[in-house]
Amino acid sequence: MLASARLKKPRGYKGMTANTLPASALTLVDFLRDRRARLRPDPGAARRRRTPGLRREEMAARAGVSVTWYTWLEQGRGGPPSAEVLERLARALELDADAREVLFLIAQQRPPPLRPAPVPAVPPSLQRVLDALPGSPAIVKTPTWDIVAWNAAARAVLTDYAALPVRERNLLRRLFGDPAMRASLTDWEDNARFALAVFRIDVARAGANPEADALAAELHAASADFRRLWAENETRSHGVGVKRIERAPVGTITLEYSAFPVDGAEGLNLLVFTPTAAADAQAIERLIAEKARAG
């Protein structure tokens, strides 16, 4: 082909656009329009519609805002809406927790205010995970340190939670109110300080929690040690660490603990205590066998 030859452009060719890729960032305008289109009109509403979902005036009525204001939102006008308006929109759009978070992030560049939520039940799959750890005591706790699930090793080494009333299956109550538990913990002070520091973080993440407030008030009134350690205002996440427990007739057992959030059950944490040496593993096996014989 001659260098001077020119390629013929197809008829109607107008050139390539500068950028054919979609924008990666989701906007409030796109989010509102998309979510409004997913909603089904009320059964009594007019059936002939040019577009799917709700009309703007129907959406505005659901959210308790004016049609003009809602229209501005879908046009990117009027500035960022307040948290109150976003909460109304979240309810009107029937958003789940994840979509509500996205709404706040794109509208205000921050996550939504925390909502106190009931602690979910322990799924059977999680109990199977516990039972699959025969040589490592493992428990599941709530933000208020209620123990809601455990395995056989935990019953033998930590506490026989099944034998306790539900109210007493709370680690903070037992740490500050059970002399036998205090005597069994070689490093009680460190354990208690750690538990309170994590308790503060757990409750802050879970949002306003009357149950947590009542527990803190109860322990504050009943325990001088709680008042002393609570006044230190320490905070920390679970992390990892070492725990030493005195158990007759085997003596001291040293355990490494690790904490894991339970996916799909927000608020629950799995704590696993692993023996640090062969002697600790043998001691756990002996305690489990004795517990099984005792029934």
**Is there a cis peptide before residue 80, judged by omega within 30 degrees of 0?**
no
Q: Give SS3 for 106.
A: helix
Of 117-126, 175-184, 283-292, least confident by mean pLDDT is: 117-126
% of residues, the chain, pLDDT over 90 = 47
Q: What's the pLDDT score for residue 116?
A: 58
- The better pLDDT of the pair 139, 15 is held by 139
Report the pLDDT averaged over residues 246-273: 91
Which segments of the chain belong to CATH 1.10.260.40?
A: 28-41+51-108
Q: What is the pTM of this model?
A: 0.63
For 56-99, the pLDDT digits (tens) are 999 989 988 899 989 999 998 877 888 888 988 999 999 988 88
Q: At what angle do helices 56-63 and 83-92 cross, to 10 degrees?
A: 120
Cα 193 to its chain centre, rounded Å, is 23
Q: Domain 28-41+51-108 has what CATH class? A: mainly alpha
Which segments of the chain belong to CATH 3.30.450.180?
A: 124-294
* Angle ∠(168,170,172) on CA atoms, nearest 5: 120
Q: What's the pLDDT score for residue 79?
A: 79
Q: Is pLDDT above 60 for 219?
A: yes
Give the DSSP letter of residue 158: T
CATH fold for the domain made of 124-294: Beta-Lactamase (3.30.450)
Q: Which residues of 26-50 are buried (b: 16+ CB within 10 A; e: fewer)?
A: eebeebbbebbeebeeeeeeeeeee
- The better pLDDT of the pair 22, 120 is held by 120
Secondary structure of 9-46 in HEC code, one letter for each residue? CCCCCCCCCCCCCCCCCCCHHHHHHHHHHHCCCCCCCC
Q: Is pLDDT above 50 for 17?
A: no
